[in-house]
Amino acid sequence: MKELESMKLVQDNASPVFGEISQPVSEVNYQDFDFRTPMDKPVKGIRKRMAFNQFQFVGLMNEEIIAGIAIVDLKLISNVFVYVYDLKTGELFEKSLLQPLAVATNIEEKPDTGHSRFKQFGDSVEITTNADGSERYLNVSLGCDVSMDVTVFQPADFSPLRICSKAGYNGWVFTQKTAGLAAEGSIELNGRSYVLTSQRSSASTDWSCGFMRRETAWNWACFSGLLKDGRRVGLNLAAGVNETGVTENCLWIDGVLTKLNMAVFEFDRYQPEKQWRVKTTDGLLELTFQPLGKREEKIDAIILASNFKQMFGHFSGWMIDAKGEKVELDNIPGFMEDHYAKW
């Protein structure tokens, strides 16, 4: 496959490229964006930097565990969370750390080749990539509780989802997502060891940033796994965010991307442990999701707020790819999310 030439997100006209983006984005050069208030006054310097939010999430899963790792940089505060759910025992380990003013937190504005890190005393989470973006390295050290050393592989012919959409009157959001990738490495958790082999383990990634809406809410679904015939499968769906002229809804089979239309989530917000349903308006997907556990967190800090519920469990149902093949899904591990945020 011919390698595509990369580009910077913000172009010479001081505006980002909107819509679906087929080229690799070498840098989200947000400082070149002509950012203004709703009353058309330029926003520069520290005010501009403080308005720019970033986060990166990696999901890991196989027949033993589902794990989620995130670094979030909101400038006024940064956050890291790590959790591992044992599918066989039902045990959940989780740890979340906050850092005022995002001290010792950095997410480079390079989706494919950047370095992301969070450090607080003896705890650290780092996500780095190799020179061509084909390998993403996850290193976690949280005291005596947990350590991770995992590599996520992205083949040269894999097609990530890249979109940039308008957010409110004067903002925008760029997101790059993958699912259905292979992963290998090890997780040490309270004296217990989990080995991830590339033949059995799968991963998803979410790299997002932008001048986001001050107050927003969304639902999100993502899975990564293996079909019965051995092909890798992945999914990303969202509703309530990144829907201005484009969606971030798609599926992958062996790295081939099929774009999907609007997603409809059906669930009980106050009893999220009950079964969820999700479908797309183009009739290409209908799934049920059975939660097994959840990670939730509520933060109400006046200026910032978050009501976060991330469920983990299994998806079943069917979907139709770009070739018209109807693919049956049975107990594919993944995530569902219901999130309100003010930042």
Convert the pLDDT of each residue in 96-125 to its tens digit: 999 999 999 999 999 999 999 999 999 999
pLDDT in tens, 70-95: 999 999 999 999 999 999 999 999 99
Q: Which of helix, strand or coil describes residue 50?
A: helix
Decide if 225 is inside a domain.
Answer: yes
pLDDT (average), residues 336-343: 95
Decide if 150 is inside a domain.
Answer: yes
pLDDT at 2 over 60: no
Decide if 304 is inside a domain.
Answer: yes
Decide if 11 is inside a domain.
Answer: no
pLDDT (average), residues 270-277: 97
pLDDT at 159 over 80: yes
Nearest by Cα to 299 from 3, 17, 72: 72
Decide if 239 is inside a domain.
Answer: yes
Decide if 8 is inside a domain.
Answer: no
Q: What percent of the chain has pLDDT over 90?
A: 94
Q: What value does the mean pLDDT of the chain take?
A: 95
Contacts of 221 (CB under 8 A, 6+ apart): 235, 236, 237, 238, 263, 265, 278, 287, 289, 315, 334, 335, 336, 337
Euclidean distance between CA atoms 194 and 185, whole angstroms: 9
Q: Which domain holds residue 312?
A: 37-342
User: 254-267 as b/e, with b when 16 or more CB fall inside 10 Å?
Assistant: ebebbebeebebeb
Decide if 14 is inside a domain.
Answer: no
Split into its structural domains, the chain has a count of 1
pLDDT in tens, 286-311: 999 999 999 999 988 878 899 999 99
Residue 3: pLDDT band with limits 50, 70, 90:
low
Decide if 27 is inside a domain.
Answer: no
Q: Residue 144's pLDDT is what?
A: 81
Two structure tokens written together for 204: 């998803």
pLDDT in tens, 164-195: 999 999 999 999 999 999 999 999 998 899 99
